[in-house]
Structure 1
């Protein structure tokens, strides 16, 4: 529904759908700009008063337990370790990064959506048409604590080794585009070069090395690259590497790893980044200008904003399917860090694109509310368009149209009366009618907006429901995927303010931006709530018990007799971890790898049929062009082709099913490990209590410490198991999606390279012509390489097996470290309490006495106000 009549916004008038035709209610003054700060605060864990109680409580406890050590003159290795541990666990806690990755096609509205979410203007770069090609990954995060400028950007360049790989890749692309698409045998020669790739590579060199004569223009750059004798011509590469080194040294000032830019406004900052984030065009000659974008890995924007202040980082990367060396490398590098995903797509693509479905499916496996679908430009609708809807909806649309027509008629009649008054010279009445006409024009706009807004809402609801149903079938989640139909353009009009006659078609709320922002603001809730629970239940109690051990130091003459129980778990925990991981590894092998291995024959048959279809659809030159472009063609008369992608798609659905069923075994694996480790700690406690020395020494502080400290073990196990789940998701992605590190993509790379070399050539080294001719020989060889036993498909199941083994080995080592740290702390705590020497230093005695008093206060605060606040927080958000 449109924004209100005159200065009122539609929230004030929308309650009455049958608003009376009362011109007195129409205000002709300009509607002021909309302020996002007026919105209802998001339902965020960190914005509650309970969270503040927990934060302040942590600070209070730190002061209580560290204060006595700060004031005391008694310092030992033990006291220093206690203070350092407190500062590490409570003052500098590790918090999970919330990285929201926004993905979508170029020109789809990613930047516009980001800018709508921010309160600080257009921080994300937009082109003249409201879109901009993302040349490198952009990360938007909160301002640094010491940051003085409102806006700061850090430009990260690729390391030297990667820059050299990029340059070598560009030379290879250019050489293949120049020499790899023609065949002496069919007389095509150089006629079938790929000018688009050559132009792209030439543009890259001009952007980077315009100062050198060889690269002052694309023509000169092409001439320079045409001198290459091979795709890895050493002379040219050495020159490119030398230019690269000088360029980076000059730009960064020597040893700096980043370039830092600051500004007082977003526009000023974006202008400074032109030489790093855009393909610059010189105004004088229209040629490519100097820009370092081909070497830029990441641009990180830092500024103050309500969303980023919640700990949310937004990530905008180039498309993973982009074939540009820089953009593809940047996307692959940073996409893996995302915890949540916003998919910006038009309704048709979101409904039918398998990439959207796969992304939604993978992210939903990590937990609820991990993915959002955004449909931009939802405000565009034709005057005659009637979307699907109920009979009631369509009847209301008709009624609203009639109201609009009545308003138009009233305005026309008023204009006629005004013209008549002017003819008769009645200026006073003409002025009255003129004001009335201006109000009627506003009324016409309002009724027209109501009618359009109603039809837009009908279409949006229909589109959202269709997409939700489609994704529900694919993700099998209990909660539907959130879908938002947004209008960034109309939202910006509200931000700018407007005259009543230019009232936007949709209200602020109907643009869906406030709702989308509120949902995204809840993304950190799960992580922050778990962090609060870990601190309240485990970290702080464990820390206080360890301090209590220090105050309860008890000399024990036969310390070694009891210490053996504390040492026993240290030789057993690794065996328990291995005993849990080995069966899990075997289960994954039996449920994923073995079925993939038995699928080889069937996959080869499907791949052979696919190869034959490619042969029929692509004649000599198109087929060779495909091979030279790693099996990829964007479109054109022959249609889009992605050979590696099609090969992946042959069994992607089945592979996903195997992973889903195998992951179900994960819960029992986690449970069995936790039970055995818990039994190990429980046995230690039992042995200590049953030892004959137990009655002669007060071990209760140590036993209390053990009972509290052992809660760190489940936390460590769950964290590791979560990483295993995420690792398995990544392996599934490599087996089912078209990414640079996909198993099929990596396996096919040498096939494309080898087949591309099969051509007649020239000179003394000219190869003998095959009986079937070079074109058919290439197709035959390609099919043989793709469909051979122990070939492409073997790379899939061996890659899966290798990655699963590596993942579990890494997590086994991580568990050995984290769980081992707990049992080692048992030993160090026992040593600290059961010191064989009586405390005689008066300074240490005074320290212990003060600490005892403070520990009592700390425990009271932890179990009182902090516990109450945590329970309320858990009840509200869990």
Structure 2
């Protein structure tokens, strides 16, 4: 029995060498992510142990008559050679069964293998192919048959025999962007229901994320809304954050009264904004007209001020949590869920108003701050495939609570679609900010850009600047328009000529009628060609924009290895007109269906679950279950041959020695690359070069007013003076000093990793499996029965190992990219600069005048030292101390500066990653050795002294059932999967 029989023929969705990602949402049902280790399926098995023998078929929804063993699937040459089972011509003829031809294709779905009708057939037939063996083994086990090795294989078959239960849960597709970008209108158009998403025009549409998902089991209404509340501990944490913002404002007010120079006015303004946001949210949750303390926002503010002066923060939070819990109980929230049904969009809007979008005239409580997301269940084909489409509030919302909820949700997403108006993309910094947000959430590989409102002209189109293909299409269309206009002129002239005649005969009257018909059709033809011309111009402009945006990911990540940014262009209004008709008095659509861009987005949504689903099914049908049944055959029909122990030891010795040699070579290469590419650069520059380069930046900071300087410290280096002024961040300015140098180092390191990956593939073949083949070139071994099957199994293990190590290298590059981001891209508190600066920021932010009491003349010798700012003015007290601390950390040469701290963080992170990664590689190599040795032990045994015993009747019938199952997996099942993939490939090639 193989320990790595989970390996797919092509690829899978998770790493074989690493644990599942931490951002996999808790409570994922269905299948776990597949790994190459044996511990991945422990909790997802079909619970046959709880069923008696008679109930097994019903448990997986088939009857005895449904068994595929009577269907005689076609045994391919691969099956016959692999299993080495003899069959007469008559048996082969009987085993031939043509594939179904009366197929119905769902025209809504793209041409992807996962949506071929054969896939549903395979999903239904796989359990039928397994049931004969499962039923028989269960029966024999109850009769007393015991075989520990076969029990393990049996459990693996049970775990995989219902493919739909093994499919990984699809992570959400989240649409993010600023208010008014067109997110909600786009979502409504994609779902085919106008206004199902809450739209807005540059103002808040909704306060929480809306998840649109497929129908819920036994759903009775057209729409079913589930408000998913935060867990109690998260609600308590949120209320704690809000109360802390209130208390911080009161503290700053007090400090301003006692030491006005120590507080910046803009800082007070921001703290006041946070105070107002916090009191607004708290009042939304707690408003109670019958309680004087919570009847109005002003009353709540006074109550909070009293709490600040007389109680602790924890005591205040405890009081508010009690009121909040009572409010949720009163709403009927059970297990953190509140459910409401709706039969129309109008009713749905009322539900939104009550749960996620409070009216401006709200006078009372509202639960939205307590709700993490709103799930709307509806009947939609791609949603029913498992896709979740998520509409989010604008990331430029003035309420930070709303923005933070959206940012947190991005970590749960699988695909991030950044939505922005096409007319503003060239000047907008929002796209860059949102790309950085996706990168910091680890979603850069699955982030795409969607530019909306392509029908809004951003200035006159100059055809000269368009791509050659667009210019050619425009020229041809303009020529067609000219010909239509010329034809119109010709027809009018001919019509006038006929009317000028003194006598118009019947033939000329017929001609006039023909001319009138042609003239009547010309406006429509002209409008059609004009729309085509417009579409060509827009598509050409889009092509230029796509080219401009192509390198944005490399710009954001500062990595030459980042992929191109994929950009889509959409017009939701024309799409809805084409789908539902143009409103009376409305402007007809100018784009055709493809020109609106939405079919492309819909295909993207269908693709989200399709790839993982087809990979999982392929893994089950073409690897996992066949390998399990092959193991059953091996276990029940071991081959006897001389020199068994000698051959076994030779195989094991060859594998272990060669795997060790390959591993040591990889370890030496990898351990040498980091210091050569990155470590050397850090050592050369961190002590003096970078501290010298940062001097002008620090001097610029020192010219700031004392209150502003402190405000930067309080915000950990971040400052945004005004809405129309550029955002600045000290951490980012520090990064700019060393970013270029480290970027070169990381690029070189990643290039080396790619080279090591190629070398390892060659070494695995040349240094491990070729020597193993030479060891197996033994006459005694080749004369043994079933040697061809063992050699094929060895080749399978080689393919599994190569695939697993390729995935491991992807994970290594991802880990290195995260180090790169923490070092030179991200600048929040979790980045290396932010982490190293955090303690100093906090210390400087808390300094006040009371820490520097005025000295008497007798104490003048002990006065705090004065510091000169850039403009020559001397300052002392807390501001001088802040400047001194920041300068010492950032600009002073030596081992304690910020650059040494960042260098150490980079070095330590990579030194942690590389050994841990190498351990996983070493373990995977050892797993391959163990797998091959288990395969050998399952297939061969030492000859018995009496010439061997006859196999038992039980093993014989189990082996026969395994053969029958394999006929399906190597025959009909494989053929249908291959045909579905071929159908997809033909569609791509067309």
TM-score range, shorter chain: 0.7 to 0.9
The corresponding residue for 1:846 is 957
Q: Is the 8 A contact 2:208 2:374 kept in 1?
A: yes
Asked if the contact 1:381–1:456 (Cα under 8 Å) also holds between the matched residues in 2, the reply is no
Q: Distance in 2 between matches of 1:69 and 1:314?
A: 44
Return the offset for 1:749: 3.6
Contact 1:388 1:462 (8 Å CA) reproduced:
no
Whole-angstrom distance in 2 between the partners of 1:801 and 1:134:
44
Deviations 1:29-53 (CA, angstroms, capped at 9, x unpaired): xxxxxxxx99875232322356557
Equivalent residues of 2:622, 2:974 under 8 A apart: no
Q: Encode CA deviations 1:610-650: one digit per residue, 9 max, x unaligned.
A: 3433444x434444444434423262476543444444455
Q: CA deviation at 1:508?
A: 4.7
Report if the CA contact (8 A) 2:178-2:396 is conserved: no
Is the deviation greater in 849-858 or in 199-208?
849-858
- How far is 1:465 from its partner? 0.5
Distance 2:129 2:845 in 1: 68
| Pairing of 1:470-549 with structure 2 (within 5 A) | 470-472=549-551, 475=554, 481-498=565-582, 501-509=585-593, 510-522=595-607, 527=612, 531=616, 534=619, 538-549=623-634
User: 3-state SS of the aligned residue for 1:504?
Assistant: coil
Do the aligned residues in 2 keep the contact of 1:627 with 1:752 (CA within 8 Å)? yes
TM score, norm. by length of structure 2: 0.67
SS, match of residue 815 in structure 2: helix
Contact 1:368 1:479 survives alignment (8 Å): no
1:210 aligns with 2:287: yes
Q: Are 1:388 and 2:436 an aligned pair?
A: no
Q: Is the CA contact (8 Å cut-off) linking 1:144 and 1:302 kept in structure 2?
A: yes
Please list, as runs of the form range in 1=range in 2, the aligned pairs for 1:684-703 lying within 5 A after superposition: 687=775, 690=778, 701-703=789-791
Decide whether aligned partners of structure 1 residues 508 and 742 sit closer, same or farther in structure 2, where only a CA change above 3 A counts: farther
Superposed CA deviations along residues 802-847 of structure 1, whole A, max 9, x for unmatched, are: 4444444554555566555554444444444457895664333322
1:610 aligned partner: 697
Structure 1 distance, partners of 2:132, 2:962, is 8
Relative distance call for 1:799 and 1:167 in structure 2 (3 A) is: farther
Distance change (3 Å), C-alpha of 1:253 and 1:315: closer
| Of 530, 544, 547, the match for 1:465 | 544
Deviations for 1:186-208, whole angstroms, at most 9, x for unmatched residues?
Answer: 46879773321110111122233
Alignment of 1:407-486 (within 5 A): 458=537, 461-462=540-541, 464-472=543-551, 475=554, 481-486=565-570
Distance 1:334 1:743, change over 3 A: farther
Q: Is the 8 A contact 1:298 1:330 kept in 2?
A: no
Q: Which residue of structure 2 lines up, in the alignment, with residue 167 of structure 1? A: 239
| Equivalent residue for 1:724, pick from 812, 816, 839 | 812
Paired residue for 1:756? 845
For 1:516-573, what per-residue CA distance to the aligned partner results, in whole angstroms no more than 9, with x for missing partners?
3335544556555655665566435533432331342346898655554566557986
Whole-Å separation in 2 of the counterparts to 1:187 and 1:765: 15
Check if 1:706 corresponds to 2:791: no
Structure 1 counterpart of 2:705: 619
Q: 1:350 to 1:381 in 2, by over 3 A?
A: closer
**SS at the partner of 1:343?**
strand
Mark the CA change 1:191 to 1:808 in structure 2 (over 3 Å): closer, same or farther. Answer: closer
User: Once the two structures are superposed, what CA deviation does each residue of 1:232-270 show, in whole Å capped at 9, x if it has no partner?
Assistant: 74433444455566666777857x355555544566456
Counterpart Cα distance in 2 of 1:399 and 1:692:
80
The one of 356, 374, 377 aligned to 2:453: 377
Distance in 2, matches of 1:582 and 1:260, equals 59
| Equivalent residue number for residue 410 of structure 2 | 335
- Residues 133 and 612 of structure 1: CA distance in aligned 2, closer, same or farther (over 3 Å): farther
User: How many angstroms apart in 2 are the aligned matches of 1:875 and 1:401?
Assistant: 39
Does structure 2 retain, via aligned residues, the 8 Å contact 1:532–1:870?
A: no
Return closer, same or farther for 1:507/1:79 CA change in 2, 3 Å cut-off. same
Partner residue in 2 for 1:225: 304
What is the alpha-carbon distance in structure 2 between the residues aligned to residue 282 and residue 665 of structure 1?
A: 58
Aligned partner of 1:277 in structure 2 is 356
Alignment of 1:5-404 (within 5 A): 41-49=109-117, 51=119, 55=123, 58=126, 61-63=129-131, 66=134, 68-69=136-137, 76=146, 77-89=148-160, 91=162, 92-95=165-168, 97=170, 99-127=172-200, 129=201, 132=204, 135-143=207-215, 150-159=222-231, 161-180=233-252, 183=256, 184-186=258-260, 193-194=268-269, 195-211=272-288, 214-227=293-306, 228=308, 233-240=313-320, 256=335, 258-259=337-338, 262-265=341-344, 268-269=347-348, 271-272=350-351, 274=353, 277-278=356-357, 280-281=358-359, 283=361, 286-287=362-363, 289-316=364-391, 326-327=401-402, 330-331=405-406, 333-347=408-422, 349-352=424-427, 356=431, 370-381=446-457, 386-390=460-464
Is the 1:760–1:768 Cα contact (8 Å) retained in structure 2? no
Is residue 861 from structure 1 mapped to residue 946 from structure 2 by the alignment? no
TM-score norm. by structure 1 comes to: 0.75
SS at match of 2:697: helix
Quote the offset at 1:758 in angstroms.
Answer: 2.0
Measured against aligned partners, the alpha-carbon deviations of 1:106-138 in whole angstroms (never above 9, x if no partner) come to: 3212222222222345443333x3864564455
Deviates most, 45-54 or 167-176: 45-54
Contact kept, 8 Å, 2:167 with 2:613, in 1: the verdict is no
* Cα gap change, 1:824 to 1:258, in 2 (>3 Å): farther
2:719 to 628, 632, 649: 632
8 A Cα contact 2:176 2:183, kept in partner: yes
Gaps spanning 5+ residues in structure 2: where?
1-104, 466-470, 489-515, 555-559, 856-861, 867-874, 943-947
Q: Tell me the secondary structure at the aligned position of residue 373 of structure 1.
A: strand
Q: Which residue of 2 aligns with 1:715?
A: 803
Which residue of 1 is the match for residue 59 of structure 2? none
- 1:1-53 deviation per Cα after TM superposition (whole angstroms, max 9, x unaligned): xxxxxxxxxxxxxxxxxxxxxxxxxxxxxxxxxxxx99875232322356557
Instruction: Specify whether residues 781 and 85 from structure 1 end up closer, same or farther in structure 2 by C-alpha distance, changes over 3 A only.
Output: same
List runs of 5+ in structure 1 lacking aligned partners: 1-36, 408-435
1:588 to 1:311, Cα distance in 2 relative to 1, 3 A: farther
Let me know the Cα RMSD of the aligned residues. 5.1
Find the aligned partners of 1:642 and 1:190 in 2 and give their Cα distance.
17
Aligned residues: 801
SS of equivalent residue, structure 1 residue 180:
helix
Contact preservation (8 Å) 1:275, 1:290: no
Q: Say whether the 8 Å CA contact 2:179–2:396 is kept in structure 1.
A: no
**1:398 & 1:844 partners in 2: Cα distance?**
79
Does 1:661 pair with 2:758? no
